[in-house]
Amino acid sequence: MHLEEKTISSEMMYDGKIIKLLRDSVELENGKTALREVIKHPGGVGIVPLDEDNNVLMVRQFRYPHGKVLLEIPAGKLEYGENPRECGLRELKEETGCTCDSFEYLGNLIPTPAYDTEVIHMYLARGLHSGEQNPDEDEFLEIEKIPLEKAVEMIMNNEIADAKTQIALLKTAKMLGNL
């Protein structure tokens, strides 16, 4: 079929805790073959916790691959087969200590389609109720409350680099008429 590739063979190169790396041989639409390296990832969720004053609860945490602290919306990795909504509600509670009255689906995004199967599901949490954080034992983060309008400015000024955060905040701002 036009623009499709057919998998001929697949070899597991690495089977890790979070990711799996495959090397696939594929047949192209012109009949030739090519190699594709694919990272298998269970996917994730990102949550925009928005309070009654239009402030977003964001987290600062060190991101090892980039060697620096990033400002992001609360997020987490799905377990294979896990319901994204349930994961999102769990991550909201773990990272911010909050529960919510409303948990609205904002859609999903594919962050790196050329070589990674990851899909991130985004949610808007409103009607927040504060509680105690319960981050994973290897997770260290700080919560920061930022007005949605300022967060959008920070995106436009390249102060927020994380893709899921940019997309979820811009979708939220657009949906609420702030863009």
Choice among 118, 137, 144, 149 that is catalytic? 137
Helical (H) or strand (E) element with 106 = strand 99-109
Which residue is listed with tokens 């004053």? 53
Asked if 24 and 38 count as a contact pair (C-beta separation under 8 A), the reply is: yes
Query: What distance in Å separates the CA atoms of residue 9 and residue 29, rounded to the nearest whole number?
Result: 16
CA-CA distances (angstroms) from residue 125 to 62, 63, 129, 164? 24, 24, 10, 15
Q: Other CB atoms closer than 10 Å to residue 139's CB: what's the count?
A: 13
**Which amino acid would we find at residue 46?**
G
- Give the three-class secondary structure for 168: helix
Is 137 an annotated catalytic residue?
Answer: yes
Residues carrying an active site annotation: 137
